[in-house]
Structure 1
Amino acid sequence: MTSTASADTTARISDPAEAQRRILRVLVASQILSGAGLAAGVTVGALLAQDMLGTTSLAGLPSALFTTGSAIAAVVVGRISQARGRRPGLATGYLTGAVGSAGVITAAVLDNPVLLFTALFVYGAGSATNLQARYAGADLAAPGHRARDVSTVLVATTLGGVAGPNLAAPTGTFAEHLGVPNLAGPFILSGAAYALAAVVLALRLRPDPLLLARAVARAEEAEAAAGPADTEAAEAAAAGEGRGGVVLGALVMVLTQLVMVAIMTMTPVHMHDHGHGTAASGLVIAVHIGAMYLPSPLTGWLVDRYGRMKVATASGTTLLAAGILAAAAPGDSVSLLALALALLGLGWNFGLVAGTAIITDTVPLATRARTQGMVDVSIAVAGATGGMTSGIMVAATSYPALALTGGILSLALLPAVAATAYRR
């Protein structure tokens, strides 16, 4: 299987630019599907746990579980991608997410909390894979166009991500006709979407972007063999810069994920406690998901044009504004909560695109997929922490206190970016 993939990659090495265009088209199709799967589950996960357990204090547990599951999945997907390429790694991750969705539906039918939490853990593989796909968009991208190609993959999630939450009510009705509890309905959509995304990638992601990028790099190294001294100096400089780049890129994405997940997770519960139905909370989450991904082309252009550091700084200040507005918004104001969640999504987008570009710039191809997987573990752990502590904090204090704390925490990005810029 590996030799076949290598032969396929080598055969297409003459035109990596054309291969990149094809790869981006396939990734866009798979991200539309996976975005619907991801957003559908996020919309009702906390509500399903609250309904089953009868308490708000554990409403953040579903988010914590599927983000913890995504941490393990990030390692597995990264290692499979490192060994065999992006295609088998991403397809495996999405299939695992589909299995988790089926488990959630079964748990809801049986009213079994233990099975629910186990299935949510497995379901997290879809979330991890959705994020890992952005790296596949950067494997063959030119350095000056890298952030824009990452953003192309991210923006594709918008279509499915916006549709998913708004289908919460219809899929709930459909589930009731099948004898499944209403709140489990969106997981029918997520399971089908993840399975279809896996099929698209398994059949159409050819040539494999990571394998082709390695082949291109080997060819370039062979051509540059006449100047080994210059090559060695460049590699040494890149290694020194790479360590700091990995730390900064990871920190940017970890903090933005922590703040985003904590506030997002408890917003539907906060709205439910103020008398809003599933349709209203679904609308707010749809606005949030749209803001997470829709600005990606602009963000990618800003990162490539003005630099990674400036956009990372903008991420921290935007998240602060989101936290302040969410804390100040009246519980009965859907419009203000939607605006706060839009700013929350935008700040996350700034951080993810800038952080991804920093990581990809500084990690060599030989270890790229494995390192990216480990970075995404940190991101997932941050999300799990945010999801788990958010419910506890709201139960102990309030939703405004949670939102304001998250906004203030995001300011930690500023000294980290300033310190890295100073070292350079």
Structure 2
Amino acid sequence: MGNSVAAPFVDDGLAKRNALLLAFTQSFAGGVPPIIFATTSILASTLLVEDKSLATLPVTAFVLGTAIGTMPAGMLMRAFGRRAGLAGALIFGMLCALLASYAAYIGSFSLLCLSTLGSGFVMAFTQQARFAAADTASPAFKPKAISWVLTGGILAGVVGPQTVILTQGMFEPFLFVGTYLAQAVLLAIGLVFVVFLKIPLPAKLEKHERGRPLLEILKQKKFFVAVTTGMIGYAIMNLIMTSAPLAMVACGLSTDDAALGIQWHVIAMFAPSFITGSLIGRFGHGPVIGAGFVLYAICALVGLTGLERWIFWSSLVLLGLGWNFSFVGASALLTQTYRAEEQNRIQAVNDFFVFGLVAAASFSSGKLLNVFGWETVNMMVFPFVIICLFLVMSLMFTERREVKV
């Protein structure tokens, strides 16, 4: 008995229940990123007098906060459980939203960045929701469990931008004060669903049961492909999405146009989740991830064709579709690289890598847009698409060769 590792608790019925609850949590708490992406760069550009290239810094702070929070999220959820970790994070997120409202009221750029840094830290916990749904799922149901949770983003894609449109002028002339107050309310609603989660606490592990050395896991080709495509896919999405609202306003479109563009983008990010898990089950991880990067390339091509509203919106929709296939595929592939006793540690490492690169992409987007323009932002997509397609095809070739052997 001393040398055995406890088998993971598997109950697909419970996994389905948790996935639905987490999908509803995502429907409201998931409205926070669209709010931040649609408003903070625009608000920051009104607060900055000299260096407008720093307008995307609040979004960068948000993504950086997510990267910083990945390791604590994994450790705290391992120690206290998924439900306690998510609940505590959402309460902290409500405080960050109130700070953002105060920052908008007094016109403080530094407090705005601090609030988005905290909100990003919270998102490190909510990002783990996709894995939480898979905790009690059988291997066959894991991709579907992840996809089910992400379907909550469809409603979030409407809730977030519509919150911006309805509340941005609530306390005129103070832009977005009411929006950030509403953000706190959305998190409170998400908290209600978290309370009803039932995810067993992970078993206490003996020292010899804590899994393989990290380096051994990192050396797996499948792990490398999952993390790299997840990193680059999310970074591409963030690069375009962060720049798009600023580019739209700079081209004479309204803040409502920018918010609606983000709305259709976020809906496209999550709408395919109804079928993504099934597509992975039928065609495999590689083809689904590859399809995501092909969509990224088409998105960039569309973005290069003009500056009309419909072109921005079409590009953002394609960007969302590309993210869904690439990120869900990479997340599902990651679940094949670790054992039950390794899951929290490896999920946290994965998200640290992903959001570390996304933070760099977010910070770069403002500089790229301000110095080189919207065309250059789109052109940056193509070399990374080529790299990821090469990795995916290499993995598919290796797996087919192993099957034949």
Instruction: Confirm or deny a common fold (TM above 0.5).
Output: yes
Amino acid at match of 1:204: F
Q: Could you say if the C-alpha distance between residues 241 and 379 of structure 1 is closer, same or farther in structure 2, counting changes exceeding 3 Å?
A: closer
- TM superposition shift of 1:295: 0.8
AA matched with 1:67: V
Partner of 2:222: 245
Whether 1:193 aligns to 2:170 is no
Question: Over aligned residue pairs, what C-alpha RMSD do you find?
Answer: 2.4
Return the TM-score normalized by structure 2.
Answer: 0.89
Aligned to 1:115: 111
Q: Report the equivalent of 1:41.
A: 36
1:316 Cα deviation after fit: 1.4
Aligned to 2:293: 316
Distance in structure 2 (CA, Å) of the matches to 1:131 and 1:351: 16
Cα distance in 2 for partners of 1:189, 1:42 equals: 15
Do the aligned partners of 2:296 and 2:385 also contact (CA within 8 Å) in 1? Answer: yes
User: Which residue of the partner structure matches residue 181 of structure 1?
Assistant: 174
Judged with a 3 Å threshold, the aligned counterparts in structure 2 of structure 1 residues 380 and 302 are, in CA distance, closer, same or farther, namely same
Q: Distance in 2 between matches of 1:101 and 1:86?
A: 22
Aligned counterparts of 1:111 and 1:137: Cα–Cα separation in 2:
40
What is residue 340 of structure 1 aligned with on the other side? Answer: 315
Unpaired runs of 5+ residues, structure 2, are: 1-8, 206-211, 400-405
C-alpha separation in 1, matches of 2:285 and 2:77:
26
Runs of 5+ consecutive residues of structure 1 not aligned to the other structure: 1-12, 218-234
- Report the Cα distance in structure 1 between the residues aligned to 2:142 and 2:219, rounded to whole angstroms: 16
Indicate the structure with greater helix content. Answer: 1
Q: Contact between 2:104 and 2:175, CA under 8 Å: does it hold in 1?
A: no
Correspondences of 1:25-174 after superposition (within 5 Å): 25-54=20-49, 55-174=51-170
Conservation of the 8 A alpha-carbon contact between 2:169 and 2:176 = no
Q: Which residue is equivalent to 1:270?
A: 247
Distance 1:241 1:406 in 2: 26
Distance in 2 (alpha carbons) for counterparts of 1:345 and 1:183: 25
Distance 1:97 1:334 in 2: 33
Question: Is 1:349 equivalent to 2:338 in the alignment?
Answer: no
**Aligned residues, how many?**
384
User: In 2, are the aligned partners of 1:140 and 1:210 still within 8 Å (CA)?
Assistant: no
State the Cα deviation string for residues 302-351 of structure 1 (Å, max 9, x = none): 111110011111121111111111122x22x2112111111111111111
Q: How far, CA to CA, are the matches of 2:286 and 2:166 in structure 1?
A: 43
- Say whether residues 1:21 and 2:16 are aligned partners: yes
Shift in Å at residue 147 of structure 1?
A: 1.2
Compute the displacement of 1:242 (Å).
Answer: 8.0
Instruction: Give CA deviations for 1:346-388 in whole Å, capped at 9, x if unaligned.
Output: 1111111111111112211112012101211111112211110
- Following TM superposition, by how much is the alpha carbon of 1:88 offset from its aligned partner in structure 2, in angstroms? 1.6
**In structure 1, what residue type is equivalent to 2:391?**
A
> Displacement of 1:124 after TM fit?
0.7
- 1:65 and 1:419, CA in 2 relative to 1: closer, same or farther beyond 3 A? same
The answer on whether the counterparts of 2:231 and 2:354 sit within 8 Å (CA) in structure 1 is yes
383, 388, 391: which is aligned to 1:413?
388
Tell me if the contact between 1:136 and 1:210 (Cα under 8 Å) persists in the aligned partners: no
User: Is contact 1:47–1:183 with CA below 8 Å preserved after alignment?
Assistant: no
Structure 1 counterpart SS, 2:160: helix
Tell me the CA shift for residue 161 of structure 1: 2.0
Q: Percent identity?
A: 26
Judged with a 3 Å threshold, the aligned counterparts in structure 2 of structure 1 residues 155 and 407 are, in CA distance, closer, same or farther, namely farther
What is the deviation of 1:120? Answer: 1.4
